[in-house]
Structure 1
Amino acid sequence: MEYLMVNKHLSPQQLNCIRSATASVFRIIHPEKPAIASNLILQQYFQARKHNHYKLPNNNQEIYDVQPMIDLILTWDETDDLLLDVLQKKAILLTTIISMWRPRSDIGKLQYRDVNFKQDDQGLLQGITLTARSPKEIEAKLSKLGALKDKEICPAYTLWQFC
């Protein structure tokens, strides 16, 4: 326990590896004594460490530049003139970028019934509401996306054309 307290600056995963290695050696040296894992103080220590340790995200790894994808999309024909397969790719790319949903599990399961278009009194597209019925992390989630002025990079307009 004293060794763990001296090394409390280590992550819970590193401390758990140390505990595991120590327990293996302890079991061989002292086969007649109870296992270290059954020690109540150690169990409480690791529970407390697990709940109180927050790993801050690395801000440098979180940034993803979507401009190359937008540039690629802008090289395609206008949305109204795209073939169905290219229109589908464009809709998927733009919707994934704007919603931050998982492209395979959330966007891949999106159905027509999950896309609700919002229009104003004149029938102009104002935005869309997407519903993920069975995402990985929670029961259901909604994303409300407004329409962009530039229709060529607007996911709402692209989905409107696709549907």
Structure 2
Amino acid sequence: MLSVLRHASRARSLHPVSIARTTVGRAPVTPFIRTLITKRYTEAHELIAFDDATKLGTVYITDYAQSSLGDVVFVELAKVGETVEQGDNIGAVESVKAASDIYAPVSGTVKEINEELNSQPGLLNKSPENDGWLCKIELSDPSQVESLMTEEKYVEHCKS
């Protein structure tokens, strides 16, 4: 089975016309596109997951940030369509302990915000690096992602 799939993927890469005709047994093989998701961190405890296929970066606060804030009670985010520069304020998070600004980890245009946070700000506590995403930014300069911290460097940063 694996050799058939390997053969089918080679055939697709060599002959684009054969994509629709590639089958395994009677079932057609659906072509897939490989994308690379790169996660990087800022010193201000934001995380961006950049998808190189869509050029979109999904912005989160880190688990470390949410645990430092305590129970989140309010989230304010940038507007869809707003153009931001790396380091610009793109919102704020208020908790029972404190308020904290959110900064753009990269430059680009805000394409989507997580509307669920309006009615469920606690998503930032329950799932800060998954369901509690803040916004999606279409990057104007994808190389900015590489200037941010890797997970290993971020962990070291949090320990200091």
Which bracket does the TM-score occupy, shorter chain normalised? Answer: under 0.3
The TM-score with structure 1 as length reference comes to: 0.23
Compare the two structures and name the one with the higher strand fraction: 2
